[in-house]
Amino acid sequence: MKNIIKQIAEKQIESLSIIRNHTCILIKNYSDYKVHGTGVFVKIQNLYLLISAAHVFDDFHELFIPLGNGETLLKPGGKLIINNSKVSRSNDDLDIGILILDDISVKDLIQSYDFVIESNLVINHDITYLHNYIVFGYPSSWSKKSFSRSSFHSRPFVNFTKCVDLAEYPELKRNEVLNIIVEYNRQETVNFKSKKFSFGPNLFGISGCGLWYLDPQNYEENANPKLLGIMTDWPISNRRRLISTRIDAITELLRKSESLNFPESNLFSFK
């Protein structure tokens, strides 16, 4: 059993470089590089996508993506698809924004980032209660601009976690069909700078990052992390929980709006 746990932990660590290459910081305010959110790059068929939380994309026209060490800031362009909440964003159980990137943006982005391919997207995911999930985003408090070096530096927040019991979903006003909720133990957050567990950061800035999964039955050397969802909420009512919207929401929205030829989710659909 110890060998299996060690193998899983090693594979999780190895997967972080892959996840990092799929993940970008979204900066608001060109002058002071304020981190406003996180995004994930995905390619489905001929569509190159930047996916984040809808509440991050509510300020889309003010957002930039740092390239390289931040010497260059890219203003992404394309077709924006964003849900309009019937309630407040804090109670928005969908909270998904999709940017179908234009060719000019893609040309610049592929020099610095990789796109998750559709075979590494998982719809219809059956929740497990093992530590096989990873949250990877960029908190605002761990990011800063060096004016002396004209560069931008950000340390990622990594949460190796597990899903909560389904009984908790009604308490947080969420539905397991649309959302996946995971634990956040702020007292024991991995600090890769000190290589120790430490008190975790305020999570403002990670909205829009990915929820990733490593299949315990498939820990082969070339097994890639799978994208399950987009993190959307750190609820004030329970700071030990993080809420994501399933990737099914993205694929179903694209099936409807773009007539995308992609397998239909068995969990729900948009009419």
Note whether residue 140 is domain-resident.
Answer: yes
Give the whole-angstrom CA distance, residue 227 versus residue 251.
12
Give the whole-angstrom CA distance, residue 94 versus residue 169.
14
What's the domain range around 60?
Answer: 2-257
- pLDDT of the residue at 83: 82
- pLDDT of the residue at 142: 86
| pLDDT string in tens for the chain (271-residue length) | 445 556 667 788 889 999 999 999 999 876 777 889 999 999 999 999 999 999 999 999 999 998 877 778 899 999 999 987 776 666 777 899 999 999 999 999 999 999 999 999 999 999 988 888 999 999 998 887 765 556 667 889 999 999 999 999 999 999 999 999 999 999 888 777 666 778 889 999 999 999 999 887 765 656 789 999 999 999 999 999 999 999 999 999 999 999 999 999 999 888 7
- pLDDT of the residue at 235: 94
Note whether residue 264 is domain-resident.
Answer: no
- Identify the CATH number of the domain in which residue 94 sits: 2.40.10.120
- pLDDT of the residue at 147: 59
Note whether residue 268 is domain-resident.
Answer: no
Note whether residue 262 is domain-resident.
Answer: no
Backbone angles phi, psi at 167, to 5 degrees: -65, -20
- pLDDT of the residue at 150: 61
**What's the one-letter identity of residue 99?**
L
Note whether residue 247 is domain-resident.
Answer: yes
Pair 63, 168: CB distance under 8 Å: no
- pLDDT of the residue at 133: 95
Note whether residue 270 is domain-resident.
Answer: no
Note whether residue 212 is domain-resident.
Answer: yes
Structural domain count, the chain: 1
Give the whole-angstrom CA distance, residue 138 versus residue 204.
8
Neighbours of 86 (CB within 10 A): 8
Q: Where are the beta strands (DSSP E) in the chain?
A: 23-28, 34-44, 47-53, 63-67, 72-74, 78-82, 96-101, 116-117, 133-137, 143-146, 151-154, 157-161, 179-183, 189-191, 196-198, 210-213, 226-233, 241-246
- pLDDT of the residue at 154: 82
Note whether residue 271 is domain-resident.
Answer: no
Alpha helices, DSSP H, located in the chain: 2-22, 54-57, 103-109, 247-257
